[in-house]
């Protein structure tokens, strides 16, 4: 296993929005972020979106008047984000970058890392390097809102799921197999894609993505070492974010932290 997960998001990026716009309530996520800002009495004009993917949070935030910069390691995802934002009056700025080694020459009032992006940091060293890099790009007291996957709620290996959806005349079948390792907290997921239009196959490929899971105490300790204060941890799902308590079976956890 390599020290850091290497998500390809090459061919996957072509189909990412077709899949996840059916599964994730991005506008609801942004509603939740604005509730977080009100709850913790901040009014961020500038936001850094880490692991921004195809810009599914950056774009609606920009539409609501925030000045957003999105970064991602995947060139394919950044290309999709730029294409999506090109029609906006005040588009986000997008750049290919690694959250562990950001060099943007700018400070932000809030930073985000939503969906699965934080989990691609596979070691404590990676996490601490990223936290220090993020903190250096935040104004004093700036908020860091991010999501992690909780190991206690991971399904025993092997866990298989699938989806079959048709969007814009294209049928996408994705077969998923995850193999959670409770000793390491690692969650490798193999995605097998079959894409066709009518009777004609357009694409077929496999990608393996490895995610590191955590617990709330582990995250609190890492934040403390990275000079952040944990303000709150809340239960979340793909379709709804709120301020409910985290239980042992909560898989997605939303965290709000403040830079010290």
Class of domain 11-151+214-259: alpha beta
Q: What is the pLDDT of residues 214-252, one digit of tens each?
A: 999 999 999 999 999 999 999 988 778 889 999 999 999
**Residue 130 pLDDT more than 70?**
yes
pLDDT score, position 8: 57
Q: Tell me the pLDDT band of 149, cut-offs 50, 70 and 90.
A: very high
What are the C-alpha distances in Å from 184 to residues 154, 210, 237?
Answer: 12, 12, 24
Please report, for the chain, the start and end positions of each structural domain, with discontinuous segments joined by +. Answer: 11-151+214-259, 153-211
Q: What is the pLDDT of residues 32-64, one digit of tens each?
A: 999 999 999 999 999 999 999 999 999 999 999
**What topology does CATH give the domain 153-211?**
2.20.130
Cα–Cα distance, 143 to 135 (Å, whole number): 9
**Residue 173 pLDDT more than 80?**
yes
Whose structure tokens read 């890392």?
A: 113
- β 93-96/108-113 pair status: unpaired
């Amino acid at each position: 296993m390599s020290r850091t997960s290497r998500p390809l998001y090459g061919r996957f990026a072509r189909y990412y929005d077709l899949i996840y716009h059916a599964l994730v309530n991005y506008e609801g996520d942004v509603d939740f972020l604005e509730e977080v800002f009100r709850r913790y009495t901040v009014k961020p004009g500038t936001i850094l979106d880490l692991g921004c993917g195809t810009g599914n949070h950056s774009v609606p935030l920009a539409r609501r008047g925030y000045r957003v910069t999105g970064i991602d390691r995947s060139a394919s995802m950044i290309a999709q984000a730029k294409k999506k934002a090109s029609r906006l009056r005040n588009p986000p700025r997008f750049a290919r970058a690694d959250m562990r080694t950001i060099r943007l020459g700018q400070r932000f009032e809030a930073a985000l890392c939503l969906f699965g992006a934080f989990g691609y940091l596979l070691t404590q060293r990676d996490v601490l390097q990223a936290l220090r890099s993020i903190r250096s790009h935040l104004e004093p007291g700036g908020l860091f809102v991010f999501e992690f996957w909780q190991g206690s709620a991971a399904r025993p290996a092997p866990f298989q799921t699938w989806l079959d959806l048709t969007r814009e005349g294209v049928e996408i079948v994705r077969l998923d197999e995850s193999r959670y390792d409770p000793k390491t907290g690692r969650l490798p997921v193999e995605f097998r894609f079959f894409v066709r239009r009518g009777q004609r196959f357009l694409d077929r490929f496999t990608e393996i993505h490895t995610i590191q899971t955590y617990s709330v105490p582990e995250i609190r300790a890492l934040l403390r070492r990275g000079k952040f204060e944990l303000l709150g941890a809340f239960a979340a799902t793909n379709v709804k974010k709120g301020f409910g308590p985290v239980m042992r079976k909560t898989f997605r956890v939303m965290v709000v932290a403040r830079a010290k």
